[in-house]
């Protein structure tokens, strides 16, 4: 990917007397309004046909004037001391409303995600997906299947890629516990240590700023330098400013909570305060900020899975921001696109799981070798996977004899649908961990990739 062309300076087309006269002539055209809903960078604008009567440079001038009128400065400054800013055009306002409604509002969700007994499965599935794809963005080469098995089986990592994924998983779990805490440099360092454990060439670099002699650049696969981060000696002051922003202490004007999380993501990535693990730490801070601001759905949403699919767009949004006078709107727009896609993907996933459950229940009723009591128990077990059953509880639930209840449960054990264990003198019965898949197979239903 090539570095985008730097836009022309504002007013360049109108610096002469002839240019001023031309400016007056264009007022009628500009007065009718210019469509800026796509919020395109100059690198794209210069390749398109401008509105009738305008040159490319004139078009750019009037777009930038309109953007500057609604932009707000941030306490984030670049390496030269110039502030970053952002705008909130109509497209962003609409997207923020949708994020508010879906991410923190009381939207209607299928029963499995609101059921206390099944919601943890969705949380764990999402955490695993985020851990894997966030690590793959940074070069981890392990497949999803191998990584999922490692986490679920609590197996030790076999290489650096697996260690990166396990670190990300543990970090995401830790963030859930830290959501109510204010951000401090110590907390950022702690998250960085979690993210980079046993993966750095020099492990003592974990949880500390990079040093002056530790040169860090953001480069392309071809070796082109995309970004030179701020000097190491400025990082302490910069992180204090970042934490103040993250905690809502700055700026004086209102910044929408979701925008604050997005800007925090950019901020740490821009500063690149560590020798490695900056991208993973930046995304971890995004999640911390979203959860801290009560966007509870983000326990389940994986943004890295979307970023991985459109990594070039992700990287380009950084470049557009830096080459166009520190206009963070480009990054914000791309991140909002990612968030919306990730939320839609989650909803589709939940609906797919709900449909699978309906299929399983339909198959259960069609299995003639099971009686209605066994079908009822398995339906309950699907919705309450942590539930344990006893002969006495089954007997009471269906008003049958002890012998009948015992026969029901032991038959399900023989069919490999329940596990049996003895505590003291009492036998307890637990659903198999993959009960869902086993019942799909028994019912000859379509077997779909099961992420539980």
Q: Residue 306: what pLDDT?
A: 92
pLDDT at position 136 over 70: yes
Mean pLDDT of 398-411: 94
How large is the angle between the packed helices 278-292 and 257-271, nearest 10 degrees?
Answer: 160
Establish if 358 belongs to a structural domain: no
- Percent helix, strand, coil in the chain (nearest 5)? 60, 5, 35
d(CA 147, CA 60): 47
Establish if 63 belongs to a structural domain: yes
Q: What tens digit of pLDDT does each residue of 48-73 get?
A: 999 988 999 999 999 999 999 999 99
pLDDT at position 108 over 70: no
Establish if 450 belongs to a structural domain: no
d(CA 282, CA 261): 10
d(CA 411, CA 390): 14
Confidence of residue 451 (pLDDT cuts 50, 70, 90): very low
Q: Residue 379: what pLDDT?
A: 84
Q: Give me 417's structure tokens.
A: 């649908």
When the pLDDT of each residue in the chain is averaged and rounded to a whole number, the result is 88
Q: Residue 446: what pLDDT?
A: 35
**Domain enclosing residue 64, as ranges:** 12-70
Q: Which of 70, 102, 119 lies at the terminal end of a domain, its last residue?
A: 70
Q: How far is CA 413 from the centre of its chain?
A: 40
Tell me: do 55 and 78 sit in the same domain.
Answer: no
Predicted TM-score (pTM) of the model is 0.82
Establish if 7 belongs to a structural domain: no
Mean pLDDT of 104-108: 55
Q: Residue 257: what pLDDT?
A: 97
pLDDT at position 452 over 50: no
Tell me: do 312 and 197 sit in the same domain.
Answer: yes
d(CA 324, CA 153): 48
Mean pLDDT of 61-86: 96
CATH number for the domain spanning 341: value is 1.10.3290.10
Mean pLDDT of 7-25: 85
Q: Which of 350, 377, 406 lies at the terminal end of a domain, its last residue?
A: 350
Establish if 362 belongs to a structural domain: no
- How many domains does the chain divide into? 3
Tell me: do 313 and 405 sit in the same domain.
Answer: no
Establish if 357 belongs to a structural domain: no
3-state secondary structure 145-161: HHHHHHHHCCCCCCCHH
Q: Residue 447: what pLDDT?
A: 33
Tell me: do 38 and 150 sit in the same domain.
Answer: no
Lowest mean pLDDT segment, chosen from 148-157, 268-277, 300-309, 351-360 = 351-360
Establish if 356 belongs to a structural domain: no
Asked if residue 50 lies in contact with residue 59, where contact means CB atoms within 8 angstroms, the answer is yes
Tell me: do 32 and 88 sit in the same domain.
Answer: no
Q: Residue 448: what pLDDT?
A: 33
Tell me: do 234 and 143 sit in the same domain.
Answer: yes
Tell me: do 250 and 301 sit in the same domain.
Answer: yes
Q: What tens digit of pLDDT does each residue of 372-397 get?
A: 889 889 988 887 877 899 999 999 88
CATH number for the domain spanning 432: value is 1.10.10.10
pLDDT at position 222 over 80: no
Rounded (5°) CA angle 3-7-12: 155
Q: Which of 305, 323, 350 lies at the terminal end of a domain, its last residue?
A: 350
Confidence of residue 210 (pLDDT cuts 50, 70, 90): very high
Q: Residue 276: what pLDDT?
A: 94
Tell me: do 135 and 36 sit in the same domain.
Answer: no
Tell me: do 180 and 242 sit in the same domain.
Answer: yes
d(CA 179, CA 68): 34
Percent of the chain past pLDDT 90, that is, above it, reads 59
Tell me: do 57 and 78 sit in the same domain.
Answer: no
| Number of neighbours of residue 223 by Cβ within 10 angstroms | 7
Confidence of residue 303 (pLDDT cuts 50, 70, 90): very high
CA–CA distances in Å: residue 153 to residues 145, 146, 166, 363, 450: 12, 10, 12, 29, 16
Tell me: do 382 and 245 sit in the same domain.
Answer: no
Lowest mean pLDDT segment, chosen from 101-110, 169-178, 361-370 = 101-110
The residue that leads in pLDDT, 364 or 191, is: 191
Closest CA to 256 of 96, 105, 87: 96
Q: Residue 356: what pLDDT?
A: 72
Establish if 116 belongs to a structural domain: yes
Tell me: do 93 and 149 sit in the same domain.
Answer: yes
Largest CA distance in the chain: 102
Mean pLDDT of 208-233: 91
Confidence of residue 419 (pLDDT cuts 50, 70, 90): very high
pLDDT at position 20 over 70: yes
């Amino acid at each position: 990917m090539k570095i985008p062309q730097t836009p022309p300076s504002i007013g360049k087309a109108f610096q002469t007397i002839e240019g001023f006269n031309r400016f007056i002539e264009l007022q009628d055209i500009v007065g009718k309004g210019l469509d800026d809903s796509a919020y395109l960078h100059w690198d794209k604008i210069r390749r398109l046909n401008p509105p009738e009567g305008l040159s490319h440079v004139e078009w750019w001038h009037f777009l930038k004037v309109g953007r500057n009128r609604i932009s707000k400065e941030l306490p984030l400054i670049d390496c030269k001391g110039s502030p970053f800013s952002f705008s909130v055009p109509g497209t962003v306002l609409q997207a923020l409303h949708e994020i508010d409604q879906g991410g923190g509002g009381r939207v209607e969700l299928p029963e499995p995600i609101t059921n206390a007994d099944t919601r943890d499965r969705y949380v764990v599935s999402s955490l695993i997906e985020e851990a894997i794809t966030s690590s793959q963005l940074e070069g981890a080469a392990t497949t999803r299947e191998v990584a999922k098995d490692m986490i679920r089986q609590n197996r030790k990592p076999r290489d650096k890629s697996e260690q990166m994924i396990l670190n990300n998983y543990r970090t995401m779990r830790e963030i859930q516990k830290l959501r109510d805490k204010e951000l401090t440099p110590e907390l950022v360092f702690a998250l960085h240590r979690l993210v980079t454990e046993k993966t750095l060439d020099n492990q003592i670099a974990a949880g500390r700023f990079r040093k002056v002699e530790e040169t860090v650049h953001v480069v392309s696969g071809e070796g082109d330098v995309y970004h030179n981060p701020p000097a190491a000696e400025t990082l302490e002051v910069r992180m204090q400013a970042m934490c103040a922003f993250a905690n809502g202490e700055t700026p004086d004007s209102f910044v929408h909570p979701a925008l604050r999380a997005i800007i925090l993501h950019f901020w740490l990535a821009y500063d690149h305060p560590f020798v490695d693990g900056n991208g993973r730490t930046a995304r971890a801070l995004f999640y911390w900020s979203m959860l801290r601001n009560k966007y509870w759905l983000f326990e389940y949403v994986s943004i890295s899975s979307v970023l991985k699919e459109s990594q070039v767009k992700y990287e380009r949004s950084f470049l557009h921001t830096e080459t166009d006078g520190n206009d963070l709107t480009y990054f914000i727009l791309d991140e909002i696109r990612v968030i919306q896609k990730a939320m839609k993907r989650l909803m589709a996933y939940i609906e797919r799981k709900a449909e699978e459950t309906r299929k399983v229940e339909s198959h259960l009723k069609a299995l003639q070798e099971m009686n209605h009591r066994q079908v009822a128990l398995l339906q309950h077990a699907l919705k309450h996977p942590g539930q344990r059953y006893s002969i006495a509880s089954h007997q009471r639930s269906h008003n049958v004899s002890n012998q009948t209840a015992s026969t029901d449960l032991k038959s399900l054990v023989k069919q490999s649908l329940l596990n049996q264990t003895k505590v003291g003198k009492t036998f307890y019965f637990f659903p198999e961990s993959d009960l869902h898949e086993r019942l799909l197979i028994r019912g000859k239903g379509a077997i779909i990739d099961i992420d539980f």
